[in-house]
Amino acid sequence: MQKYLSQENFSTLLEKLIASGKRVVAPKLNAGTVLYEPLKNPAEIVIDRMPRRSGKEAFFPICEEIISYGKEGQKVTVTDIDPARFPETVLVGVRPCDAAAIPMLDAVFSWDYRDEFFLERRKKTTVVGMACTEADDACFCTAVGLSPGDPKGGDILLTQVEGGGYLCRAQSEKGEALVAAHAALFSEPDGHKSLPLAEPQTEKIDLQKVKKWLDTNFEHPDWDSIATRCVGCGACAFVCPACHCFDIVDEGTEKSGTRRKNWDACGFWKFTHHASGHNPRDLQPKRYRNRIMHKFKYYDDKFGQRLCTGCGRCIRLCPAGIDIAAIVEDISKK
Amino acid sequence: MTQPIDTSIYTAVTDAIRTEAARILSDGTVTAVAGYAAARRKGSSQPIVVSDAGNADKLIFTAACVNNLAVYLTKAKKDIPKSGRIGVVVKGCDLRALVGLMGESQLKRDDLYLIGVPCAGVLGSTIQPATELNTDTIAPKCLECVERLPVGCDFVPAVTPPPAPELEKKYASEIARLEAMTPAERWAYWKEQFSKCIKCYACRQVCPFCFCEQCLCDRNRPQMVETTPRPAGNMAWHIVRAMHLAGRCAGCAECERACPMDIPLNLLNRKMAKELKELFDYESGFEVLECGPLATFTEKDDQSFIK
């Protein structure tokens, strides 16, 4: 079901959603940087710049409280977080590479353990994607089997049309419900022509060949040359739409405190540092190898797909200029 | 108005680096040369360690060669082989960091073969590496640079860098703007900036002076600084970082370039450098000091804070 949504009605829709008390998260400027953040008014949305971080934080916050505790005399109280208090959310303007990562996270967070924090937020969120009309040379969604107009992971996909406004395709019950609830804002799509979509300049990578090489080359001298330049920060994992490792820490005093869940990254030295003092990934190449292995082998072994959507954020932002698209392409040619 | 910056010297600089690297690798002066190589994206570069003279022609120098390679020679980065003397390509700002590390007994001059770069400036951001170097895209540090020709290197290509463009010094004017604020306004400014911090520690990992093998911010027994990316922990981390770098920071601004959240971290370092200049007449330079300004006491030191 395709509908037309004018630019004006798009703003009205956002306004109505905000007014209804929903948390409307969309790309907006925050101290000079575009991030997915809750909108206060529709004018704040920025659709022509890719957000620096991905949309995953709408379900998987950088830091969240999971329990709190208090102690008075001999009395200890532990308070659970009630996921029922998580707000109904509409995540708007999500890039196809960010939306495609959401089902990847769904698989992880509902696999051997159902993460109620993630899943409750996920259940309460409607994802409104936005097809890309521009790509730079770090974009490689097409190399990993996606595309700038890919509807994967979204409930609605918006595509910009010539002269302003959007073609709107609802592709799930949640999406249809949102359109139906604001039916007066949508009209028939007749005559509206979508803007040409972006064309990332990367060639399709043979991911089966990549996996085959990874299956048998855990130990290989090339890991050193691939990863020696890695400085061991967490920038790549933290801007990645699909990376999902976290750490749990207790912070507070003897009298009161909080248990928090924070993003973690396999590039960090302390990520695999054991209490004994031993670190099985003692050198940076072993840590970087894990990044590639997890994305293109381990995740595939478990869930039958890759853990990379080709958004290119890690390429743009790596302080050491590491280019995962070039590395994976090289592996595919080995 | 945006003006292009002349980087034509970089062709000759690249040729000279390649010739010199091939020479010192083949005659056994060094076992490896750390420099820059072109990467996949148009205009991009990445650090490379060349240990075979036949690969010396991979080395380049362009306005996208932003990294301070000194970081790869520090204790925290043990992965780079340290057998024998290492050649390293350095801009003036990178050299000041190496000199600081020598002063802190982290490196020995005799273990290094320094290839200095006559520098016309580099990009402030390499998110889009094909960007032309101009008066808008040049790194702000380059506008305040007085050392476009490194001093005390083993080899510097015989090329004269063009004079720096006469432009507003962005750090100086931004620090003046912040100094003019009330403490509450300044607090609000940094609170907003640090709210973007995700504790990825890119600022720490690219810093040549963050060479601790275990950062106190990674410790949890006891926990010195909240590790969580929340306002209190973020503020604490950035204050710890600024204070630990006072009197040491060489101004390479890698922290600021590496920050994926665009936090203007070098402003803190420049402010500390300004204080050090005023209080101790100290500036990071090309001369190895055995005792940095905060590691020594003289009777001339300002003591007005003792009431």
- Which chain B residue has its CA at the smallest distance from A320's CA? B46
Q: Please give the pLDDT value at position B298.
A: 85
Please give the tally of structural domains in chain B.
2
CB A121 within 8 A of CB A86: yes
Can you give the residue range of the structural domain that contains B204? 170-295
Q: Please give the pLDDT value at position B146.
A: 86
When pLDDT is averaged across residues B33-53 and rounded to a whole number, the result is 96
Share of chain A above pLDDT 90, in %: 94
Interface residue of B33, B36, B41 to substitute, partner A, most A CBs within 10 Å: B41
Residue A85 token pair: 């208090």
Closest partner residue to A138 among B41, B78, B195, by Cβ?
B41
pLDDT over threshold 60, residue B81: no
Q: Which residues of A touch B77 (CB under 8 A)?
A: 231-232, 284
In Å, what is the CA distance from A245 to each residue of A151, A191, A238, A268, B90?
A: 25, 46, 9, 12, 37
Does residue B238 share a domain with residue B188? yes
Give the tens place of pLDDT for each residue, A217-245. 999 999 988 888 999 999 999 999 999 99
Residue B83 token pair: 């057998």
Dihedral through CA A1, CA A126, CA A22, CA A313, nearest 10? -120
User: Taking the CB of residue A86, how many other CB atoms lie within 10 A of it?
Assistant: 19
Does residue B179 share a domain with residue B123? no
C-alpha to C-alpha distance for B224 and B214, rounded to whole angstroms: 12
Is the Cα dihedral A108, A111, A115, A116 positive or negative?
A: positive
First to last CA, chain B: 50
pLDDT band at B143 (very low <50, low <70, confident <90, very high): very high
Interface residue of A259, A289, A317 to substitute, partner B, most B CBs within 10 Å: A317
Whole-number average pLDDT of chain B: 93
Q: Please give the pLDDT value at position A271.
A: 94
Q: Please give the pLDDT value at position B200.
A: 97
Does residue B207 share a domain with residue B131? no
Distance from CA of B300 to the nearest CA of A (A): 40
Q: Do B260 and A235 touch (CB under 8 A)?
A: yes
- Which chain A residue has its CA at the smallest distance from B188's CA? A31
When pLDDT is averaged across residues A170-194 and rounded to a whole number, the result is 96
Share of chain B above pLDDT 90, in %: 78
Q: Do A30 and B223 touch (CB under 8 A)?
A: no
Q: Please give the pLDDT value at position B115.
A: 98
pTM of the shown model = 0.95
Query: Amino acid letter at B236?
Result: A
Q: Do B260 and A315 touch (CB under 8 A)?
A: no
Q: Please give the pLDDT value at position B82.
A: 65
Closest partner residue to A323 among B39, B49, B192, by Cβ?
B39
Q: Please give the pLDDT value at position A86.
A: 96
Query: Amino acid letter at B202?
Result: A
Give the tens place of pLDDT for each residue, B123-134. 999 999 999 999
Q: Do B228 and A32 touch (CB under 8 A)?
A: no
Distance from CA of A327 to the nearest CA of B (A): 10
Does residue B234 share a domain with residue B116? no
Does residue B115 share a domain with residue B54? yes
Give the tens place of pLDDT for each residue, A265-307. 999 999 999 989 899 999 999 999 999 999 999 999 999 999 9
Closest partner residue to A285 among B39, B79, B260, by Cβ?
B79
C-alpha to C-alpha distance for B207 and B203, rounded to whole angstroms: 6
Q: Please give the pLDDT value at position B218.
A: 86
Q: Please give the pLDDT value at position B305.
A: 80
CB A67 within 8 A of CB A81: yes
pLDDT band at A43 (very low <50, low <70, confident <90, very high): very high
When pLDDT is averaged across residues A261-266 and rounded to a whole number, the result is 96
For residue B307, tell me if it sits in a domain.
no
pLDDT band at A74 (very low <50, low <70, confident <90, very high): very high
Burial class (CB in 10 A: 0-12, 13-18, 19+), B240: middle
The β-bridge partners of B115 are B89, B155
